Amino acid sequence: MVWKRIIAGSILVLCSSTIVHSQSDSLRSLHIQKFNDYFFIGGVLKQRNLNFRMTSRLKPSETYFFRPNTSYSTGVTLDIFGVGLEATFSIPINVKNQERYGASNVLDLGASAQGNQWTADAYLQKYSGFYVNTPGVVVKPPQTYLHRSDLKADNFGVSFTYIFNPNKFSLRAAYSFTEQQRASAGSFLFSYVLSSFNLSADSALIPPSQWKQVGDGSAAKKIKFTSLGIAPGYSYNYIRNKYFLNTTLAVGPAHYWIQYQYTDGAIKHDIRINLYTALRIGVGYNGERFFSGISYSTQGRSVRFEQINFKNSIETFRFVVGYRFIEKGILKKTPKDMIPYKWK
């Protein structure tokens, strides 16, 4: 099966690359500064949005954009005992007029882990309530958009990225600030991604009056995409003094398992190979004690079923500012140090 070939190929590439690029920590220390003797605390301001659109392959001008009415979140980021943690809570900034755009409820959870040669990320998003930009309709204040309070979207994904040049390049230096890169350098990347995106509504996502001109698939009220993909890419840190600019891009094929249900209850299945893309940009200052950065990232999927082109994206804006403190006493310990000796 295709997904088995993808996993086997990924493991082969990762294993062979590990052998070729295995280097001592002393070589890496010439280019990358670690902050092993520090812990840090910082503030975070973040906004993450999940948007999607449905376009008719018969008539591309027939495009329906679905967006949530979401807000920013703020919180704290920590790196302590060798573990990075981040927690944010919604705040009422930039929440659009609910009478015009409707109300959205959002649950957004994320976790990440990073090593010298790899990064791993996982996320879970639950959205309910969207407003719709319908084709040919210009909504001017105080007019209201079409509200879909019945529409729910669940988005789950995990990804693993291998870094081919860990001795001169650090992805952590630009985003988690647990390291500092001393000179400009980049690295080829290899990622594989598993994700699931589920939409459900009480009625069809596209109005019945438009089904004929939009084409087959427009009467769907539930859609589920499960995908497994690979995405080779490249990331580069431009360093000047202690300021940095990072750009990361990964693009590759993804195998999609598709299930959708029509308003009459009929359920259909399909299989496609389409595109996966990920873009990340970060800029900031990473000093010995003080650090600050702004980043923007977007991940997108593009898939086709019947006569519908479906695209969705996850866009994240993040601002962080923090300060490092010298570890003392118990703060010098790692989770491994806290395990009783008999259990090690």
Q: What six digits make up the tokens of 52? A: 């999607």
Q: Per-residue DSSP letters for 9-75?
A: HHHHHHHHHHHHH---HHHHTTTEEE-TTEEEEEEEEEEEEEEEEEEESS-TT-EEEEE----EEEE
pLDDT at 228: 92
What percentage of residues in the chain have a pLDDT greater than 90? 44
Q: How far from the centroid of its chain's Cα atoms is residue 174's Cα?
A: 16
DSSP 232: E
Position 340 confidence tier, pLDDT thresholds 50, 70, 90 = low
Q: What is the pLDDT of residue 331?
A: 58
Give per-residue pLDDT as tens, 85-144. Answer: 777 776 766 667 888 888 888 877 777 777 788 888 888 888 899 999 988 888 888 888
Model confidence over 38-80: pLDDT tens digits?
888 999 998 888 889 999 998 888 999 999 887 788 888 887 7
The CATH code of the domain that includes 281 is: 2.40.128
Task: Report the domain count for the chain.
Answer: 1
Q: Give yes or no for residue 341 having a pLDDT over 90.
A: no
Written as one string, the DSSP assignment of 307-330 is: TEEEEEEEEEEEEEEEEEEE--GG
pLDDT given for residue 35 in this prediction: 83
Lowest mean pLDDT among 161-170, 183-192, 322-331: 322-331
> CB-side exposure of 20: number of CA atoms within 13 Å?
9
Identify the band that residue 200 occupies on the pLDDT scale cut at 50, 70 and 90: very high
Q: What mean pLDDT value characterizes the chain?
A: 84
Residue 251 has pLDDT above 70, yes or no: yes
**pLDDT at 17 > cutoff 50:** no
- State which residues form the domain around 29: 2-343
172 closest CA partner among 67, 297, 32 = 32
